[in-house]
Amino acid sequence: MRKNIQIQPLTQDSFSAFGDVLEKENHDFFSINQGLTERYHALSLAQVSGENAVVGMSIFHNLCATEVPFKIDMLERHPCGSQSFIPLQQQKFIIIVALPLDHSQPDEQQIFAFLSNGKQGITYHQGVWHHPLITLEAESGFLVVDRIGEGKNCDVYPLTQSRWIVE
């Protein structure tokens, strides 16, 4: 039997168990640079742990688009740090996350899919189970803020049954 996961709109309330939504909407700001800039301060805070760990900024450049519906077979998590994705071309992307079943695996019955409107970025909290980046547009770039450092910081969990992501 095919197991489907419905894509839902990305909001801070619906995503709060997994991380933060990075967007200006519904957030206060203060003026800086002689009133020429609005600063939306500390929308998300990076989390890192482990020896010789720092917060790094990278660009991920996706070469191909994913079409809905599509199948997922695995989830991953980063136990030593948070991970943020900010779209550079205001492209929509899909975020797939799962609640934990216990300290070592996701709850395969609690997998969720969210759609960013392209003006929203996200931060996965440290240790949150998620699928690797899914973009709906080819040649799309993302600013990524995550932990750089020694030690293993990526656990991969193969799902016992594939799931389909649908609209």
Q: Which helix (H) or strand (E) holds 86?
A: strand 83-87
**For residue 56, which phi and psi values (nearest 5 degrees)?**
-115, 155
What does the pLDDT look like over 116-148, one tens digit per residue?
Answer: 999 999 999 999 999 999 999 888 999 999 999
Q: pTM of the full predicted structure? A: 0.91
pLDDT at residue 115, as a whole number: 98
Task: Show the domains of the chain with their CATH numbers.
Answer: 4-166 (2.60.120.480)
Measured at the alpha carbon of residue 159, what is the angle toward residues 67 and 142, in degrees to the nearest 5? 45
What does the pLDDT look like over 87-106, one tens digit per residue?
Answer: 999 999 999 999 999 999 99
Count Cα atoms within 13 angstroms, Cβ side, for 93.
Answer: 27
Task: Please report, for residues 21, 110, 127, the alpha-carbon distance to residue 163 in angstroms, rounded to integers and kept in the order given.
Answer: 24, 11, 21
